[in-house]
C-alpha cells in the first residue's frame, strides 16, 4: 500500500480477502474477491447495482464518494483488525448494512455516536492506537502508508519468521 500511495493510486477494496501471501511472506494486494461468490456477503449492492465493501469503507468514501489513499488507510486499519481477529469475524458483524451506513452518518455528523471496532484480544495497545489514528474523522489527520510502514518496521525490529517447511 505504501507503493500504491507513492503512485497516488487508490485501491478502494483493501481487505484481508484481497491479500495473498507467498512463501517468503510477501503480501500481494489484489481485488479478486469482488468476483468470487465466496465473498458475496462482504459487499452491499447499492441502488445502482454497484458492489460496495461498506464495512471497510471510510465514512467519506461511502457517503461522499471521496476515495483517496487516506480512505485506503481507513480500510487498512479495518484489515488489520480482521487479521488480529484471525479472519473469523466480519467487521461490524453485529450491525446490519443499514446500521453500518447509519454509523457512517454519525462519523459525518461528528455527533459522538460513531462506533469503533473493538480492540481484538490479541492486539497490543500500540497497534490499536495506530488503528485509531487510521480512523480519524478528518482524512488529513490520518497517517500516510509511509508513516504506517515505518511504525510497523520499528515494532518488528529483530523479528524473523521461522522458515516454512515444504
Instruction: Please indicate whether residue 13 is annotated as part of the active site.
Output: yes
Q: Which uninterrupted H or E stretch holds 45?
A: strand 44-45
Q: How would you label 102-127 residue by residue, b for 16+ Cβ within 10 Å and e otherwise?
A: ebbeebeeeeeebeebebbeebeeeb
List 13, 37, 111, 129, catalytic entry? 13
Strand, helix or coil at 72? helix
Cell reading at 60: 467519506
- Grid cell 452518518 in the structure block, residue: 105
DSSP state of 44: E
Residues 121, 126: Cα–Cα separation, whole Å:
13
Q: Which uninterrupted H or E stretch holds 28?
A: strand 27-29
Which residues participate in catalysis according to the annotation? 13
Amino acid at each position: 500500500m505504501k507503493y500504491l500511495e507513492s503512485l497516488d493510486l487508490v485501491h478502494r477494496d483493501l481487505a484481508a480477502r484481497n491479500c495473498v501471501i507467498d512463501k517468503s511472506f510477501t503480501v500481494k494486494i489484489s481485488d479478486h474477491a469482488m468476483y468470487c461468490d465466496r465473498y458475496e456477503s462482504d459487499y452491499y449492492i447499492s441502488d445502482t447495482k454497484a458492489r460496495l465493501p461498506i464495512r471497510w469503507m471510510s465514512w467519506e468514501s461511502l457517503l461522499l464518494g471521496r476515495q483517496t489513499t487516506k480512505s485506503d488507510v481507513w480500510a487498512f486499519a479495518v484489515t488489520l483488525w480482521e487479521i488480529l481477529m484471525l479472519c473469523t469475524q466480519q467487521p461490524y458483524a453485529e450491525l446490519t448494512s443499514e446500521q453500518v451506513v447509519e454509523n457512517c452518518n454519525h462519523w459525518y455528523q461528528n455527533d459522538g455516536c460513531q462506533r469503533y471496532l473493538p480492540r481484538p484480544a490479541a492486539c497490543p495497545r500500540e497497534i490499536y492506537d495506530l488503528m485509531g489514528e487510521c480512523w480519524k474523522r478528518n482524512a488529513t489527520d490520518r497517517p500516510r502508508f509511509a508513516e504506517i510502514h515505518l511504525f510497523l518496521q520499528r515494532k518488528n525490529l529483530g523479528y524473523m519468521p521461522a522458515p516454512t517447511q515444504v
